[in-house]
Amino acid sequence: MKIYFACSVRGGRDDADLHFKLVEHLKSYGEVLTEHLADSKITASGESLKESFIHDRDLKWVLDSDVVVAEVSTPSLGVGYELGRAVENKKKILCLFRPDGKKLSAMIGGCPDIAVAEYKDLGDAKKVIDEFLKRK
């Protein structure tokens, strides 16, 4: 299975450690095309590559993926764009959201083509991922 993991980069990297743990868990189900996003060396400045390269590479990965799993607790324009393109291309999508006093975007929560799961901690997130991917 090819998995596209989406998370905030330029929108904030406060959850980078959580992202690493989520990617490690996702790897038990297949190839995580965006495994590099879990690297603690990637800061909120993003990768030091041309933006057009990042766009084209990541869009290709979205299109090549079997499933998209996104951690959407930290708002990100890029993740929103990726989710829109994934919906457009009929990908199976799971969004993980940890409320902590925040509200999820209505564009994500209201989309019938996106499965949204609220979670409290890593253990909850893993359970949601397991249930979602075992139904795939």
Distances (CA, A) of 49 to 38, 46, 57, 134: 17, 9, 11, 35
H or E element that contains 133? helix 122-135
What sign does the dihedral 38-39-45-46 (CA atoms) show?
A: negative
Say how many domains are in the chain: 1
Which stretch of 42-46, 54-58, 89-93, 132-136 has the lowest confidence by average pLDDT? 42-46
pTM of the model: 0.90
Residue 34 belongs to domain spanning: 2-135
The reported pLDDT for the residue numbered 16 is: 80
Quickly state the pLDDT bin for 122 (edges 50, 70, 90).
very high
Give the other-Cβ count within 10 Å of 136's Cβ.
Answer: 12
Q: Domain containing 18 — which CATH number?
A: 3.40.50.450
What angle, 0 to 180 degrees and rounded to 10, lies between the N-to-C axes of helices 16-26 and 122-135? 30
Span 87-120, pLDDT tens digits? 999 999 999 999 988 899 999 999 999 999 999 9
